[in-house]
Structure 1
């Protein structure tokens, strides 16, 4: 009998240890799933204006997100997501600000006051919304529109084509139009770099300045420069894998951390700066923190993108969401209408000049599109490049693009004087090389 009791105790202790280990591993994964779901639903419904069903179909159809139960509170503009009735997270929408995930509970962010949007619906494109009725010779608009329609898939959300500064074609999925702000995911990194460029022109930042963070001077991180961060060559250890079975650095940062910049800054060096190229959303959120340090008042930091970029370019339907402590999530959470994404592409196509005003330093676009040393010609400063023609072998080497998760892309073609915006809910089956090559037949 004593042996049986002892055996049962051992089994009980073993089972308890197994449950503790499983809980230790599983709990963060469940929190990540609820964080992602709450954030995507809150932004999808209240920023993009889609229905809960549309967001769930486009963004939350796979495991484990399809096991998350969510409640959308339209009166308070809040989403609460729960999985297996064990773990929950909530996201809150505020007008002009967007949705914010609060992993540790709601915390009011003082000074997060949006600037008014300059309405320009009666002003001609590109600063305004009025599109010319005629197009230049040599452009087959009918053929181009037919081509886009034929290739517009169930996962396509929006396509906009700019040629010689003129908007010549645009197509939208049901429930989306020219005013709908759409998530760019990592295309937001190119917005963050543009904001850096503006502050460089102001003389507030220099690309080769060291990144001064409190505990960095004690190790090799003291040698990291802003340029290293912009070019994804910081040497910081980082896992960018969007795994559904393990919580990686990028998932933890986006769905479990209140202060994303601080979390990204806390990772250790793995190699010397500028010795290895490694894509990292963390480095962009460190940049977002650096931008915040450039302002004495938080409100000035928060209003900076609208004041110095969005309103200048006529980007009326654009915003960058913040984390729970007010840092812009420069890695991932930029929402712009397809036309606004096109305007950002046009700013780069025009060498940083907008309607005669030099928004960016004269050398900035060349800098941003020069390959990082270790990137094999694929990456510049928060911008992807076709310099090696690995990405799109049938397109010119001078092509570069803003690129985001699930098939978001703004392609700038300097030699063709074109910008093409493609926004999607999945990257599957999208061959941008063939798609854009086929489009060029109608604009020669």
Structure 2
């Protein structure tokens, strides 16, 4: 008969449960074409006429369940090897890069932005946490097609600000005190990118996203465009393969851990997933966290994706780019598209994906 302390040793010596992690390729457990899977495919990949540029147009759909590839489909000319524009998913990617820097002790959330980007000296009360919450208080207008003449983001990306996007943003006046009002801002995200340059140094900055994030995750092919000052356009211009973006989702699903390495501090991931105190949302719109979108109600507004669990969070981009993370279902979903109207609905795709791939669901 074993003594009690030997029994305790035996318990603590038990090996950890095996986990699936992608190597050069994902382990596969492809789902058969059940009615639920077919319903998802019918929604994501309807017959289309590209000449009209209307309706749901999915370029890529990848589903990972607990570290295994269970569904993958592309619409020509896109393939598994195609780099695709992520648009504003770039913001969440920069949040991951900053999370590595945070874990290295390079900054604190309550540091003034001007500490790392001197052009923000005219806004000394703006802190890094304010930028991460899209709450700098700078007078920003995030409009594209609908009001281009008044759009701050169009001016920053394509006209007056394209050579120095952070300086363009820092030159704006304030409309509110920092940290008090949520206003989605690509400018705030690009200020974070400029601050990162000072944090890690000009010499290391051009390679830092690769060394900090992409290479540890096994992402070998990625493009991240910079502005005229060599600052990564954190708001918009990262390009990844769908399978590689899924690696970022798995990192977030597992609370910043990649295999045996805590790549992002758990406290950082918790910050990304915590609703901003002063967030506002219109019906159907997600709640802002730390450069990620949350399926959380704000005020009297219901959850934006009512058919998905409340813990669902996402990185979202223009024209229907999406990286969804569903912790309870252990699902990561990457959807690339080119939707020029409002026909694509996040909630509908999530509802169909849960029906098709969540464990225990009728399929």
- State TM-score, norm by structure 1: 0.68
The alpha carbon displacement at 1:287 in A equals 0.5
Query: What are the superposed Cα offsets for residues 259-309 of structure 1, whole Å, 9 maximum, x if unpaired?
Result: 1111111112111011110000000000010011123334x1010111121
Deviation, 1:140, is 5.6
Q: 1:408 to 1:255 in 2, by over 3 A?
A: same
Where does the alignment leave 5 or more consecutive residues of structure 1 unmatched? 1-123
**Equivalent position of 1:400 in the other structure:** 313
Q: Does 1:187 align with 2:89?
A: yes
CA distance in 2, matches of 1:359, 1:205: 16
Q: Aligned equivalents of 1:142 and 1:262: distance in 2? A: 53
Question: 1:234 deviation in Å?
Answer: 1.0
Q: Is the 8 A contact 1:148 1:171 kept in 2?
A: no
| CA gap 1:226/1:130 in 2 versus in 1, 3 angstroms | closer
Q: Pick from 349, 354, 359: which aligns with 1:435?
A: 349
Deviation >6 Å, runs of 4+: none
* Alignment partner of 1:253 is 2:145: no
Q: 1:334 to 1:354 in 2, by over 3 A?
A: same
Matching residue of 2:332: 419
Alignment equivalent of 1:279, drawn from 181, 184, 187: 184
Aligned to 2:289: 380
| C-alpha contact 2:119 2:167 (8 A) present in aligned 1 | no
TM-score, normalised by the number of residues in structure 2: 0.82
Superposed CA deviations along residues 212-249 of structure 1, whole A, max 9, x for unmatched, are: 1435445xx21111000000111111011114651521
Aligned equivalents of 1:190 and 1:438: distance in 2?
24
- Tell me the equivalent position of 2:13: none
**How do 1:48-197 residues align onto structure 2 when only pairs under 5 Å count?**
126-132=22-28, 134=29, 142-151=34-43, 152-153=45-46, 154=48, 155-197=57-99
Residue 51 (structure 2) aligns with: none
Q: Is the 8 A contact 2:221 2:241 kept in 1?
A: yes
Deviation at 1:417, TM superposition (A): 0.9
Is structure 2 residue 236 aligned with structure 1 residue 332? yes
After superposition, give the CA deviation of every residue in 1:335-374 in whole Å (9 maximum; x if it has no partner): 0111111111111000000111110112111111100111
Instruction: Tell me by how many angstroms 1:146 deviates.
Output: 2.1
Count of aligned pairs? 314
The equivalent residue for 1:234 is 136
Match of residue 97 from structure 1: none
Give distance in 1, aligned partners of 2:247 and 2:65: 12
Aligned to 1:266: 171
Verify the 8 A CA contact 2:113 2:127 in the aligned structure 1: yes
Structure with more contact order per residue of length (Cα contacts < 8 Å, sep ≥ 6): 2
The answer to whether the 8 A contact 1:140-1:442 is kept is: no
Instruction: Please give the root-mean-square deviation of Cα atoms over the aligned residues, in Å.
Output: 1.9
Q: Is the 8 A contact 2:292 2:313 kept in 1?
A: yes
Partners of 1:416 and 1:214 in 2: CA distance? 44
Counterpart in the other structure of 1:320: 224
Answer yes or no: is the 8 Å Cα contact 1:141–1:169 preserved in 2. Answer: no
Q: Tell me, what secondary structure is at the counterpart of 1:319?
A: strand
1:5 is aligned to none
Residues 423 and 315 (structure 1 numbering): CA distance in 2 closer, same or farther, change over 3 Å?
same
Residue 14 of structure 2 aligns with which residue?
A: none
